């Protein structure tokens, strides 16, 4: 997953949990309340706040970029493309602190998935033919 997609995925997962948390704050649904409590108590809220703070620092002096980040929380479908653009322009995809904060947030939100998806971190810098990532794979390539 490229760094911008990683950041967007982390923000969107946390934003949807935060929206769910607000929506059921006074509701009697024990399942939804349990999900919200897990979000708040599991460290995901802290990880989300850390990621947002780091991005806001990156957007310092750029009120439009900060507005896009805030609006993304309530309307991710509309603001996803503008946020990706602002993150790329600010160089967030090259900021290791932001990338690590996004990875940590995803680990908090999806611990069972991040255990398997973070095993390999593969990034190709040029055209690749016949690449394979995984355990116990076999591959035979014939290139002309």
pTM exceeds cut of 0.85: no
Q: What is the pLDDT of residue 65?
A: 96
How far is the C-alpha of 114 from the C-alpha of 13, rounded, in Å? 13
The residues of the chain scoring below 50 in pLDDT are 19-39, 41, 114-116
By three-state DSSP, how is residue 59 classified? coil
């Amino acid at each position: 997953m490229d760094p911008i997609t990683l950041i967007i995925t982390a923000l969107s997962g946390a934003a949807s949990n935060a929206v769910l948390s607000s929506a059921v704050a006074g509701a009697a649904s024990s399942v939804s309340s349990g999900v919200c409590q897990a979000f708040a108590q599991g460290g995901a809220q802290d990880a989300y706040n850390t990621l947002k703070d780091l991005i806001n620092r990156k957007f310092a002096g750029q009120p439009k970029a900060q507005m896009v980040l805030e609006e993304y929380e309530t309307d991710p479908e509309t603001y996803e493309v503008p946020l990706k653009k602002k993150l790329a322009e600010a160089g967030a995809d090259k900021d290791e602190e932001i990338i690590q904060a996004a990875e940590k947030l995803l680990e908090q939100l999806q611990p069972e998935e991040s255990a398997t998806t973070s095993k390999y971190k593969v990034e190709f810098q040029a055209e690749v033919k016949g690449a394979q990532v995984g355990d116990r794979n076999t591959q035979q390539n014939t290139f002309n």
